Amino acid sequence: MLKRFMIRLNHEKKLSHIGLLLSFLCFSCLTFGQQKAMINGDFPDPTVLYADGKYYSIGTSSEWGPHFPIYTSEDLLSWKQTGFVFSSPPEWAQSAFWAPEYFYHNGIYYVYYSAKRKKDGVSCIGVATSRYPDRDFVDQGIVVDYGTESIDAFVVREGDELYMTWKAYGLDDRPIELIGSKLSADGFRLEGEPFSLLLDTAAVGIEGQSFLKKDGFYYMFYSAGNCCGVRCDYHVQAVRSKSLTGPYERIGTGVLLGENTDWKCMGHGTFVEGKENKMYYLFHGYNKVGTTYTGREGLLAELQWSSSGEPSFVFIPATSLNEQHNVQLDLSGDPNINPYWQWDFRYAKPELSHTAQGIRLGGIIPPDNPTGIALTWRPSSVVYELGAVVDLINSSEGAQKGIVIYGDKDRSIGVGITGNNIQLWLVKDGEKFQIKQEKLPKDLTTLELKLELGADLQCRAFYKRWSTWVEIVPEDRGLTRVSGISPWDRSPRPGLHFQGTEDENAVFHSVYLNNKL
């Protein structure tokens, strides 16, 4: 099997040689020093709201659970994660947790969101509510069920009435359309007939709409183009109308936000008024250095207006990193410390407990998951170092325990310990292969492991023998280059790894992630 895999890999390497060369040249032509985002790491489709003297933002979580990370800020510049909207998926929802949208109405905080419905896989728009902007959200079910796809909710207030807007027909053989409908007073259901806001006659893709009202006009800002991946061309455009229902006319330049020196494929954001009475747009974009390996990160721009009512944006560069940029945790310490792990909730059900030695990781792994359980963080740099100390005494001997860079269940790489062996392993196209194996040094009670990811996407694995790092060197370095590991809509993630039966587990004393910007 490994021989067949090597033949196939060599063939793929020849086909992708030009792509890898171009990627390397791209890294080389930029001064390597990855730019900071307002909200670092993969945080697509951010929504933002101001309440009780603070700003709150929620972003897309896609296939990572828990769902929809929540961040807070005092000034829109420095952000800290404080939780998630959902600890487990709502009963009706299956996957694809996208495009949350904050709304405040009659003393209640609403989060509208998109997800695929369990019974048929159709994307619908649901809503959760709370008395607080950052906790205790309770799902209220589906609000929009329209055709083969309903995503990207945005609520517009028109006097005493509410209107829901969304994207439709993204999966159909017809133009995409932005659609509106009157919303019930409680915000839980549509009322009346849907109406068209904007038709994608150019077939470029339109979505992520948000509205502002100014000088008698409704301004609709939306994103056009391909949102995700290395071929993205996302950008922000605007139209306006005297009526919410239209017709809308183009206003401003063709690309209000799209690309600058450090960022590309900008879009899908919402507006918030700053404390100094300026209007800001929180949106996402790919770092030109990190690209898909750090994902779509949270960015900020100030909205400005010309005397004739044409909008423009002034990009605001970040000046500091998020507080949780780097992580170093003593897992045998305070059990109340929340590192805000995320995992692929579709293919793993992790079980965590704290012991005097550290964190105990186990859980249920479906048979179609060759990787196992990965407890991960969002990296803020394409270059980073991940390390952990594994407890060899209190972990199950037959289980594999270590660290991983996880794209999805079918694409990952890691280093771990099974029995008396240290193993460097790879999952590619749904098959798991052992790249290199070395004997575990004798008479150890713990072992420290480390993965380093370089700017050339080369992954290097190490273990510590006494005070010296020993590299596990594969015969073919091509096996440990992680190009192609990124899912189309999210970044790969580093973290702890476990693979074993339901009655096995792994104990970790400590873990760290150092992003090297």
DSSP strand E in 87-136: where? Answer: 93-105, 108-117, 123-130
Q: One-letter amino acid identity for 44?
A: P
Measure the CA–CA gap between 410 and 280, rounded to whole angstroms.
Answer: 39
Q: Which of 42, 45, 200, 489 is catalytic?
A: 45
Measure the CA–CA gap between 238 and 234, rounded to whole angstroms.
Answer: 14
Measured from the Cβ of residue 214, the count of other Cβ atoms closer than 10 Å reads: 13
104, two tokens: 């405040």
Measure the CA–CA gap between 497 and 375, rounded to whole angstroms.
Answer: 7
Q: Which of 152, 177, 200, 207 is catalytic?
A: 207
Active site residue 193: no
CA distances from 346 to 349, 405, 507 (A): 8, 17, 23
Count how many residues are written for the chain: 517
DSSP strand E in 229-372: where? Answer: 235-241, 249-250, 263-273, 279-287, 296-305, 311-316, 327-330, 343-344, 349-354, 359-364
Which residue in 390, 416, 403 sits closest to 509, CA to CA?
390
Measure the CA–CA gap between 470 and 449, rounded to whole angstroms.
Answer: 10
Active site residue 120: no
CA 14 to chain centre: 31
Radius of gyration of the chain measured on its C-alpha atoms: 24
Active site residues: 45, 207
